[in-house]
Amino acid sequence: MIERAQREVAEALVPPEPVDASWEAFIGGVLTALASAQDPATRRLLLIEAPAVLGWIDIRKAQEPLLHSIATMLEPVETVERGPSIRTSILARLLLAAVEEAMLYLAHADHPRHDHAIVQAEVRTILEKTGLPGR
């Protein structure tokens, strides 16, 4: 169940076969993933129970394909074939950490539905300021 829920959130962030590989599409995927924190079952499973049962090391290992996909999106087109640089690998981790922290905040907020719009706006601001290199 945990793997399925993780896969669904990952596919919202970076679909396996993206129709639109633009930065704006990626931001839309991130905001969709954030919306999953509003679902009580997903919130409980992914943000509370999974880390407690599996531990953060296994959670991080499961995120490696997603991190690679995000890093690849951050790379300029001409360097994608070589794989992500150290800089983009770190940036991918920081972006994923920001999204996870936003989801955790919403998972434990007293008023998650009310706070969702505020959190979503802040995450969008972070992502828009990051942008695609060379864009």
| Residue in this structure with the two tokens 């942008």, named with its chain if needed | 131
What is residue 8's predicted lDDT score, i.e. its pLDDT?
73
Average pLDDT (27-48) is: 77
- Per-residue confidence band for 67, with pLDDT thresholds at 50, 70 and 90: confident
Q: Which residue would you say has higher pLDDT here, 124 or 38? A: 124
What is residue 135's predicted lDDT score, i.e. its pLDDT?
45
What tokens were used for 80?
Answer: 């994608």
What is residue 115's predicted lDDT score, i.e. its pLDDT?
92
Contact 13, 29 (CB under 8 A): yes
Report which of 80, 59, 55 is spatially closest to residue 70, judged by C-alpha positions. 80
- Please state, rounded to an integer, the average pLDDT across all residues of the chain: 75
Distance CA(119)–CA(97), nearest Å, equals: 14
